[in-house]
Amino acid sequence: MSPEQIPSATRAPETYLTHAAVQAVVSALATHRVEAEVVSFSEPAHTAAIAAQALGIDVGQIANSLIFNADGGPLLVLTSGAHRVDTAKLAATLGKSTIKRADAAFVKAHTGQTIGGVAPLGHPQPIETVVDTWLSKYDAVWAAAGHTNTVFATSYAELLQVTGGTPADVA
């Protein structure tokens, strides 16, 4: 679904687009020469299910941006909204001792964004990233754009390119 096909009832005024975290995402997209329109919702999309419903797409097409604490440092996992990350499997794949979900303060400190709106890019510093291979099943996937009310359309290949991410089976 393209941005212009999103029902107008779910779209919000462009006020969210001026948010600093959203602007950081827009700037990062431009740096990578990615032409993506950031779409804003009238209600927050705190979960993949809510975002998928608002967009009229399969929940698997949502690229959840999840931050983990991996051996003390941030790890960004871009996973299909249809999956839960198997942290033990991921730790073994990446050669990490421990991987655990990060708390809100850790997420904000490393991304400049809040949980529910974390984007794949636009962070203060590069973050080690893993991209769920399941996302490659879709022509288009949608990711948060720095705020719980914003998303943008992209592709699996583009996510790998803009994040420098490692493809992996994370579920």
Domains of the chain with bracketed CATH: 3-168 (3.90.960.10)
Per residue in 46-104, pLDDT (tens digit) is 899 999 999 999 999 999 999 999 999 999 999 999 999 999 999 999 999 999 999 99
What pLDDT is attached to residue 8?
47
Q: In this model, does residue 127 exceed pLDDT 80? A: yes
Measured CA distances, 72 to 65, 125, 145 (Å): 18, 16, 25
> Where in the chain does DSSP place strands (E)?
38-40, 62-70, 73-80, 99-101, 128-132, 141-144, 150-154, 166-168
Of 87, 93, 157, 153, the C-alpha closest to 119 is 153
CB-based contact 139:105 (threshold 8 Å): no
Q: Which residue has the higher pLDDT, 41 or 146?
A: 146
Per residue in 11-42, pLDDT (tens digit) is 545 678 888 999 999 999 999 999 998 998 88
**Mean of the per-residue pLDDT values for the chain?**
92
| Spatial separation of the C-alpha atoms in residues 59 and 110, rounded to whole Å | 26
User: pLDDT category, 149, cuts 50, 70, 90?
Assistant: very high
CB-based contact 59:142 (threshold 8 Å): no
| Spatial separation of the C-alpha atoms in residues 24 and 43, rounded to whole Å | 21
Going by their DSSP bridges, the two strands 150-154 and 38-40 should be labelled as: antiparallel
User: pLDDT category, 5, cuts 50, 70, 90?
Assistant: low
Please report, as a single letter, which amino acid is at residue 16.
Answer: Y
What pLDDT is attached to residue 119?
98
What pLDDT is attached to residue 11?
52
The predicted model scores a pTM of 0.91
Of 60, 36, 5, the C-alpha closest to 120 is 36
| DSSP 3-state of 68 | strand
